Structure 1
């Protein structure tokens, strides 16, 4: 709206008071300037009112000057902006991850809130975002949270998301198989070939039986 009013050369009446004519003054230039101001004020005020919805039009249509109207609207919307910022900050601070939902989906929800904060010109450093997300991990991720908190090397937001996805996949595999992937791999034992042991003398006796001659009695 401000840009549109500026292109129409009407923005000057938003912040300045109307010129006044002193008593006994009859200068035609001053009178013409006052009339021009009144005309600009009338146009500008009605342009603004036409941009409002019906309910707000009924509230602000009784305002006398454009300056008064503009200041009232600025106060209203700036107050709403402050309230919106507080609401978004409250959502971010109160957000807690739960075990009933996947961690990755909850991280995405947090990223949406962070994007809303940035849109309200409340930018947070990446290191703060990472630390906040780690701190909000659910109770079942306590060990992994402590592991991340004690890492000396600083992580970026993308690195954190990758690590969370890997940990989620490992937990899924663990619940499915019953062991952690690395643990199950370490416990694999290759079956040994069963070799038959020959008892001492077994081969010898078999050899003797092999070459044993059949003896018959001869009757004449």
Structure 2
């Protein structure tokens, strides 16, 4: 089995772009395009045809025209290949949205503009929520945001959000010699919360 025939079945397993999986989706397709040697159409405008003047009738001029024509034909073929794979690995809604575009570069740039900015905006939103979060007595602790930040940093941010009624408990945790991860801190907090509920029910 050839290397290319191995790649295509692997690409067939790629989940279609639905708007939430853009980063991994785009990276896998880009690797595929690099192996096909068509990735250049995503980042370059098509070559422009050369129109020779009446004076340019030398063999050199004819060679330039021929070379340019070949480059244009190759670009058109590679653009169709890249565009086909981009569209065929989208959900129906996104396919309908991007299908009118004949340029793989226009589709790629549009996706980058939309989903890269959305991803950056989500990260800023999550950071803002973390910094503004205030822990209160009787308020349930809900931590369900997924974001690749230093887990020790997140744990210490959360530790600083303890309400005044838990200042003694916070001091105990802060004086631990070993750094705690976010999950370890949440585990400690749940145990403490359970102990407080048991004491109040007695």
List runs of 5+ in structure 2 lacking aligned partners. 1-28, 53-60
Write the deviation string for residues 96-121 of structure 1: whole angstroms up to 9, x where unpaired.
3333357xxx3xx44x53xx221xxx
Q: Aligned-pair distance for 1:160?
A: 5.2
Write the deviation string for residues 173-192 of structure 1: whole angstroms up to 9, x where unpaired.
64466xxxxxxxxxxxxxxx
Mapped to 2, the partners of 1:81 and 1:165 lie a distance apart of: 31
List runs of 5+ in structure 1 lacking aligned partners. 178-220
Q: Residue 6 of structure 1 aligns with which residue?
A: 34
Q: Aligned-pair distance for 1:74?
A: 0.7
Q: Aligned-pair distance for 1:23?
A: 0.9
Q: Residue 48 of structure 1 aligns with which residue?
A: 86
Mapped to 1, the partners of 2:124 and 2:71 lie a distance apart of: 45
Q: Aligned-pair distance for 1:7?
A: 2.2
Q: Aligned-pair distance for 1:4?
A: 1.9
Structure-1-length-normalised TM-score: 0.59
Residues 82 and 104, structure 2, Cα contact 8 Å, conserved in 1? yes
Q: Residue 68 of structure 2 aligns with which residue?
A: 30
Mapped to 2, the partners of 1:45 and 1:161 lie a distance apart of: 47
Larger relative contact order (CA 8 Å, sep ≥ 6): 2
Select which of 99, 110, 117 maps to 2:137.
99
Q: Residue 197 of structure 1 aligns with which residue?
A: none
Select which of 146, 150, 153 maps to 1:124.
150
Select which of 156, 169, 180 maps to 1:144.
169
Distance 1:44 1:174, change over 3 A: closer
Q: Aligned-pair distance for 1:91?
A: 2.7
Structure-2-length-normalised TM-score: 0.63
Distance 1:60 1:176, change over 3 A: closer
Mapped to 2, the partners of 1:37 and 1:144 lie a distance apart of: 66
Residues 50 and 68, structure 2, Cα contact 8 Å, conserved in 1? no
Mapped to 2, the partners of 1:157 and 1:89 lie a distance apart of: 19
Write the deviation string for residues 30-63 of structure 1: whole angstroms up to 9, x where unpaired.
3222212111111211211222223323332232
Aligned residues: 162
Residues 130 and 155, structure 1, Cα contact 8 Å, conserved in 2? no
Q: Aligned-pair distance for 1:81?
A: 0.7
- Superposed CA RMSD in Å reads 3.0
Question: Does the alignment pair 1:86 with 2:114?
Answer: no
Q: Residue 156 of structure 1 aligns with which residue?
A: 179
Counterpart secondary structure, 2:101: coil
Counterpart secondary structure, 2:44: coil
